Each structure stands twice: as C-alpha cells, then as structure tokens.
Amino acid sequence: MDPIAFTLFGVDVHWYGIFIALALIMALVLAYFIAPMRGFKKDDPFEMILWFFPPAIIGARLYFLIFNGGPWGWESFAIWDGGIAVYGAIIGGAIGAALYCYFRKKNFFSVADVAVPCVILGQGIGRIGCSFAGCCYGVEVTDPGLQFFPISIMINGEWHFATMFYESVCDLLICVVLVILLKKVKIRGIVLAGYLILYGIARAVIEGFRGESLMLGSLRVSQVLSIILIVVGVALAITLIVKYVKEKRNPREVTIGKL
C-alpha cells in the first residue's frame, strides 16, 4: 500500500499524516459534545488542545528517541519521517493537562475525564494511518490459514499479524465505553481510571504480537508500561469508589472532586 496519498507543490502528503489530522479533528468534535458532562463549556476544549497537543508531540518523539537510541541531532526533529510513540504522546499530553489545570485552576480529574475518551478516539483513528504507513504491524504469520485480513496484513510481500487494526478496533470500542461511563457515572476521575485499565489491558495483549517494539533490554517497554497503567488504574478506581461511598455516608467528608 502506497503510504503517500498525493503530492502537493512538490511535497509528499502521507496517509499517516492525514489520519493524524483527522484524529485531532474528530477528538475535538467529541470533546465539544462531552465537555458539558463535567461542567465545562463546549468551547473549552479548543483552549485545552493548545495546552495538550504541543507537549504530546514532544513527548511522543522523545519517548521514541530515548528507547530507540536516536537518531539524534537535526534528525531528531524529522517526525515527518516517522518515529513517534503513543505512550510518549500520552505522557506529554498529561503534563500539558496538569499545567492547564494549574494555571487555569481547573480540577484535573474533570479535565482528564473529558480528555481520555477523545484521546482514545484519536488513537483509534491514528492506528488506521499505521495500516497505510506499513508500521506497527505484528510478527510474521506463517500459517496459510491465518493469512487473510483482518487477522493478518501483507507488509513488504509477507503476512504479519494486523496489530495496528486490532488496536484501532479496541481503541474505538473503549471510546464508546468511556463515553457511556462519563455520561452515567458522576464520580470525577472514574473515566480516567477506566481508560488506564482498559487501554492498558488491550495494549499489553496486543504488544505481545507486535513485530517491532521499543525495547529496554529484553523487555517490551510499552508492555511494561501497560501493566503499570492497569495497576494505577485499578488503584485509582478503588480509591475513588471508596471515597465516594464514604462521602455518601458522611456528607461532611471531602468529596471526590476535591482530590
């Protein structure tokens, strides 16, 4: 599959870039509609993205460079050639969210609850771009009975597990679950916990099928981080629910939203 969609004024426009742009647009559209569910104005996400997106891009690139061992120098800035990591974007975006909350005096859990369904939607759309770019695919599939889409995908004349497709489907399903959770459960922070748990599980499993992973010795970095996210998510969910129950029993206690 040709990774280049078209050439404009001598510049190659890649499908991956198109899907990243589409992911950003769709994430903003979703944020516009769900922001009021946590007490924000519909136009607040347009300011939030200015705080979240730049550190997310920086984090995505740095994460890749650190665990890939480069390239360093001027090539470090060549993100148009590929080499960005989802987890780095999540970490960078979280830092941007924390700064936004600090300077705008917003509740972090409220912001996160609105942000994470949009983030996972963007991830799901972005992974479609990986299919066109021919990256993030799984190990080679040698069983002829499994050599068909959506189980596997042809990359450079060989069949590989379609891990980018697996993650895209999982991300979009998780997005639906998180939006429902946001609408039905008023405990601030619970949607964030759901994201950490559900995405952590999905990524930990799918990463085991990946053919190319950032490594730290013999460990797959993203798989280790996924397990950490699951543990943090479970701990956060338990803490929030326990405090909510206590607050219900004794209204004088500190509410979840003030954590």
Could you read off the pLDDT of 131-157 as tens digits, one per residue? Answer: 887 788 999 999 999 999 999 999 889
| Overall average pLDDT of the 230-245 stretch | 96
More confident call, 79 vs 174: 174
Tell me phi and psi for residue 212, to 5 degrees.
-130, 115
- What pLDDT is stored for residue 67 in this prediction? 78
Band of residue 185 on the pLDDT scale cut at 50, 70, 90: very high
- What pLDDT is stored for residue 39 in this prediction? 94
Query: 205 is in which domain, residue-wise?
Result: 4-258
| Overall average pLDDT of the 89-106 stretch | 96
Q: Residue 214: is its pLDDT beyond 50?
A: yes
Q: Which amino acid is at 13?
A: V
Judging by beta carbons within 10 Å of its beta carbon (0-12, 13-18, 19+), is residue 103 exposed, middle or buried?
Answer: exposed
Number of domains in the chain: 1
Band of residue 259 on the pLDDT scale cut at 50, 70, 90: very low
- What pLDDT is stored for residue 80 in this prediction? 59
Q: Return the SS3 of 126.
A: helix
H-helix or E-strand spanning residue 63: helix 44-68
- What pLDDT is stored for residue 258 in this prediction? 44
